[in-house]
A = this chain, B = another copy of it.
């Protein structure tokens, strides 16, 4: 994932309504939910919901699929992983062991969609 796609994804998630929508869909799994149910659950007006769903879709974080009169929205897990990978990429200039032993680590079972940074070693000059 490149910078601009990551920025689009982060911009999409940087809104309380959209973040709530996205998490609801992440927790729901690949089948997703119809727009109407999301709106009812989060109590957002239909027009507003539509606006936010479109933003999430534009960012590639969700995709839509019509089923009868309803439109189901589902999280795009590949895109989510791409974003998480982007954020941790090239951590610590290719020496991730440096930041690994930090506290507050929530290292539990890596059970879902683990982003796993693929380091590509881009050592920055030590300017301290």
Contact = CB atoms under 8 A, between A and B. Distances in A.
Given A7-B14, A88-B112, A82 B99 contact: no
Chain multiplicity (copies):
2
A49 interface: no
A53 interface: no
A45 interface: no
Given A7-B15, A27-B92, A85-B106, 19 more contacts: A3-B20, A10-B10, A23-B87, A26-B89, A26-B91, A27-B89, A27-B90, A27-B91, A27-B124, A29-B93, A30-B98, A33-B127, A37-B127, A75-B99, A81-B104, A82-B106, A108-B118, A109-B118, A115-B115
Interface of A: 3, 6-7, 10-11, 13-16, 19-20, 22-24, 26-34, 37, 67, 72, 75, 77-78, 80-85, 87-93, 95-96, 98-100, 102-119, 122, 124, 126-128
